A and B are shown apart, each in its own frame.
Chain A
């Protein structure tokens, strides 16, 4: 049976209208039940129909057995932030079903496992009971397989109810199951069972899809894989790491790409991926490798960042490059290991004791996970200092639509390194002498075949020749030079992205808040007639344009995903007092990806509208 053969009756439902390509589906299942394949098939089928989609996995810190939710947003306008309201619920998990149904807004639809008997709960929803066990029984006699295939049945039911093209479902299935012919056939039969059941349902909700042409040429990728590709094309060679959610898939993806693309014909590796004993060792190896001239990186999350604190200070003070990806999860402490946040901002900016400060990059999309990771290596080597890439679980672990990743057009910038020939010419060098006026000294790599190449790298006080020194004037001069170097980074780091000009109200945000901010801008205009400009900051220390933006607006709302308004706090450190008074905070600490509705509502409330 195909969709064309399905005759779905559209009754005038509670909304008495049709909502095409603009809704959110939430699938509630149990962790470890194999729903991931089903959700991927759904997402891809919609994407292949040319409809903008985004998928977000809300999962527990658990291997199997706890509730998990997957949200697919379908948006003809191209919005990819989380949608606060759920329009279609697929309730497969008895444990959460009643709670999930209670939270729905009137007019939503519920596809549910028939034995859960949810239909009596509310009268303002469209309920579609589906006998999943009955439908899946003829598909396989294997109870274990049936448990997995139940999920493909809801794919079929949704395809039928929403008019998702079955040909695209089949293509998506083929992609997910690849050459596993038997699995492909079984799953297809399960989808058809769901489709067949959908044909018997009397539909009384307004939601459906229709083909568009808005995804042509685009790719689907998660931020962690994009980060891994950024490192691959930056020529990373040494990757020590310690597994931690939600960063693990950065290195797993990277290892896969390295194995595929960075072995010589006779099998030798131009890379070293080492699973370290902890995050201290991981960053120590990065520092050691970078000191010896390699492009080295590690990936971690908040607790790992805390452990890396001492080495981060050494990297800053001894001026050793390092690239550290922090896929943020919500803290403090172990926090919610599988929920998203931007709460590592302040602690990472000043990670370690003493007057330490670090360069931070904030990718706002999967494309930027790729491009900014590439740039991070150039910046780390150019500025001879650790560079932290702050992404988060939402960006890193969810699938996003994106333009194809662009091939880097600039050659690798390996920074100021003196060769033997340079030393022959110069007759020597002083490691920490500011010969160029930018605060950045020249370094040599161990193994350089010249009598004057060596220097002593230390975390203790040192003079321009890298010799041990406890002299106050030497120490102070060195710290001033480090500050000069840091100030110089403002203009070299990725500059902010500004949308709009001339409004009195400004919005300011970073990282994965971007999709919600862009949508909120439109909501503010459409719903309240409020014009606002928007600046997305992409690096710390902030570019001069950030100050200019604040100066050009009467009120600037700093939107971020943490409790303590950390981005706003960093801005306060940077701006003169007359400007800091213009800053207002919209801070969220829910662990859920930011949604436009919450931003819009909070901002309008503060505006007194």
Chain B
């Protein structure tokens, strides 16, 4: 269960980016995970529900994109899909292949809510209107 440790690292990044972007809250966190990253998405989701409590991302949704295992062959140069424990070229069967995708463990993007300058100004405008009406 190293997913808890991974999730703590994720929350530190989420909080620091939210602070940097002066966000009021984080509404969604998007990750890209490949099966060869060694992290189990379902366990990470469970850890996220615990780790988000009390943070700026307390209400945030976690969206995980499961990335496919793709390899390129050193021999025939073709790219093909593969299974995590069988990285043989799908075209010629050679074992000398390189991973193109499938070991990602990445924070891709976040969705934030920020009060804009207009929204901040609105309450004052309301007061102004009420004031005018009274007069």
Do A and B interact? no
Chain B residues close to A by CB (< 8 Å): none
Chain A residues close to B by CB (< 8 Å): none
